[in-house]
Structure 1
Amino acid sequence: MRLALFQPAIPQNVGACIRLSACFGVDLHVIEPTGFRFDDRAMKRAALDYGPLSHLTRHSDWDAFQTHRGPGRLILFTTKGATPLDAFAFQPDDTLLFGSETSGAPDHVHAAADARVVIPIRPDARSLNLSVSAGMALWEGLRQTSLLTPR
Structure 2
Amino acid sequence: MKIVLVTPEIPFNTGAIGRTCVALNLELILIKPYGFSLDEKSVRRAGTDYWQYVNLTEYDSWQCFLDGEKPDPDNLFFFEEHGSQTVYDPDYPLDSFLVFGCESKGLPPEILDGMDNRIFSLPMLDTRVRSLNLANVATAVVYQAMRSHLGG
Question: Any idea what SS the aligned residue of 1:86 has?
Answer: coil
- 1:112, CA displacement in angstroms? 6.2
Check if 1:3 corresponds to 2:6: no
Matches within 5 A, 1:1-151: 1-72=1-72, 73-111=75-113, 113=115, 115-121=118-124, 122-144=126-148, 146=149, 148=150
Runs (4+) of structure 1 exceeding 4 A deviation are none
* CA pair 138-112 structure 1, distance change in 2 beyond 3 A: farther
Structure 2 portions without partners, runs of 5+: none
Deviations 1:37-96 (A, max 9, x none): 221111111111112322111111111111123544111000111111122222221100
Percent identity, aligned pairs only, is 29
RMSD between superposed Cα atoms in Å:
1.7
Distance 1:140 1:149 in 2: 12
Give the count of matched residue pairs: 148
**TM-score normalised per structure 2:** 0.90
**TM-score normalised per structure 1:** 0.91
Distance 2:31 2:144 in 1: 23
